[in-house]
Each structure stands twice: as C-alpha cells, then as structure tokens.
Structure 1
Amino acid sequence: MQMLSIAGGGALGAVARFGVSTGVYRLFGRDFPWGTLVVNGLGSYAMGLLFVLFLERGLVAPELRAAVLVGFLGSFTTFSTFSLETLTLVEQGEMVRALLNVAGSLLLCLGACWAGIISARLL
C-alpha cells in the first residue's frame, strides 16, 4: 500500500511541478530558471512544514506521509532540472546567471525549509 501511495503522490507532484513552473515562466520569462527556483523554494518550505506536522507531531498515517513527503514533494521539487539548467547556463557562457541560480537556490531552499519548520512549530 505504501508503494501505491508514493506512486500516486509522485504523479500528482509531477503534474503540480509542471503547472507551477509553466505559470512562473509565463510571468517572468525563460531567461533565468525562475520556474525551477520557485518550485524548489515552495517544495522546501512544504517539506519543512510537513516534516514537523507529519513526523514530529504524528498527525497522519504512514501511507499519507509517504505519499506527500516522498511521492508528491519528491517529484515536485526538481534538483535534477536545477542541475541541468545550471550547466546549460555555464555552457552558454552565462557564468553570472549560473552562479546566481546556485546561490539563489541554496539560500532560498534552505531558508524556505527552515521557515516551514518554524511555521509548523508555531502552530
């Protein structure tokens, strides 16, 4: 049952990632990997928030926890896409943009995960 929960969550996460990143690219354009940055920031915040609620507080069953944390967020966040987009910027000679993407992703995602943890602990 847990594997089916993860698979279902993964399918939903992939569709959500596509929808969010596509919407962000429509707003801000494709000259910088804004869609991936936003998705990873949102996913990191959600991971921190739900980690506390699901694991520390034990608010959901193990199957739902696996579906959301492993399945949904695992496919919603896009580290492999981040890596490819960053290397593409490097290959295009866009070193400043590549470094901005690395620094922005690192700072945003660590900060977002921390904010999610703090948010959940304040609930």
Structure 2
Amino acid sequence: MSWLLVAIGGAIGASLRYGAGLIITRPQMYFPWTTWSINILGCFLAGIFFAFTERYPVLQQQARLFLMVGIFGGFTTFSSFGLETFQLIRQGHLSIALAYTISSVLVGVICLMIGFYIFQFLLNTK
C-alpha cells in the first residue's frame, strides 16, 4: 500500500510540475523562474505540512508518504531538501545543515557537469 501511495502522489506531483511549467514559462526567460518558483512553493507547502504533522502525528504515516514523498517529491525534491535542512537547524546542527546545503548544491552541479561531459565525449567519438 505504501508504494501505491507514493506512486499515485508522485504522478500527481509530476503532473502539477508540468502544468506549472506551462503556466510560468515565458519566451526569453534567462533566470529559471519556473524551477525556482516550483522549488519555493514546494518548500512552503512542505513547511505547512510539517507544521500539521507536529500538531497531528497521525499525518506522519500514510499522509506523509502520499503528500511529502509522493506529491511534493514529484513536484520538487527541493522541498525535501529544504525540510531536512530546516530539521537539522532546529536540532541545533547548524554546521551539518550548512555542509549539507553547500555540498548538495556544489556536488550536484559538479556531478551533472561530469556526467554531461563524459557522455558528450562518448557520443561524439562514435
């Protein structure tokens, strides 16, 4: 049942992300407003849901899988990243939160670049 909740939520979240992209994207946009807006909205919604789970612990099970992992995960994984960073800060682990934030962004971009250039090279040598 858990897998089904995540799968259905993920399909909904991905569809919402696609729809939001159609609404937000405009020609000649240099700043990635679509992704930025979706990530910010996802973080805001994750914060709202997190507050509800603190007040109503019953929401920490199936509703969490459906909303946080499924819908918000399909909409943006940045919301999970934001929530995890916030939880580290709340627990007093500021240095870990900072390391997590910086390393996630930098290592993520570096790995994307490495993957791109390796496969661009491999594809061009054939």
Determine if the TM-score, normalized by the shorter chain, exceeds 0.5: yes
Matches within 5 A, 1:19-30: 19-26=19-26, 29-30=28-29
The one-letter amino acid of 1:54's match is T
Q: Secondary structure at the match of 1:60?
A: helix
Structure with bigger gyration radius = 2
Q: 1:81-108 deviations in whole A, cap 9, x for unaligned?
A: x967xx89xxxxxxxxxxxxxxxxxxxx
Aligned CA-pair RMSD: 2.6
**What are structure 2's unaligned runs of at least 5 residues?**
79-104, 114-126
Compute the TM-score of the two structures, normalised by the length of structure 1.
0.57
Stretches of structure 1 that go unaligned for 5 or more consecutive residues are: 89-123
What is the count of residue pairs matched by the alignment?
Answer: 83
Q: TM-score, normalised by structure 2?
A: 0.56
Q: CA deviation at 1:62?
A: 1.8
Instruction: Please state how far the C-alpha of 1:61 moved relative to its aligned partner.
Output: 6.6
* Structure 2 partner of 1:17: 17
The residue type equivalent to 1:37 in the other structure is W
Question: After superposition, what is the alpha-carbon deviation per residue over 1:60-89, rounded to whole angstroms, capped at 9, x for unaligned?
Answer: 37212211001110110155xx967xx89x
Moved more, 14-23 or 54-63: 54-63
CA distance in 1, matches of 2:54, 2:61: 9
Residues 1:64 and 2:63 aligned together: yes
Q: Does the CA contact (< 8 Å) of 1:36 and 1:78 recur in 2?
A: no
Partners of 1:25 and 1:34 within 8 A in 2: yes
Counterpart of 2:53 in structure 1: which amino acid? F
The aligned runs of 1:1-123 (5 Å cut-off) are 1-26=1-26, 29-58=28-57, 60=59, 62-77=61-76, 79=78
For 1:99-120, what per-residue CA distance to the aligned partner results, in whole angstroms no more than 9, with x for missing partners?
xxxxxxxxxxxxxxxxxxxxxx
Q: Alpha-carbon deviation of 1:55?
A: 4.3
Structure 1 runs (4+) greater than 4 angstroms displaced? none
Report the secondary structure of 1:22's partner residue.
helix
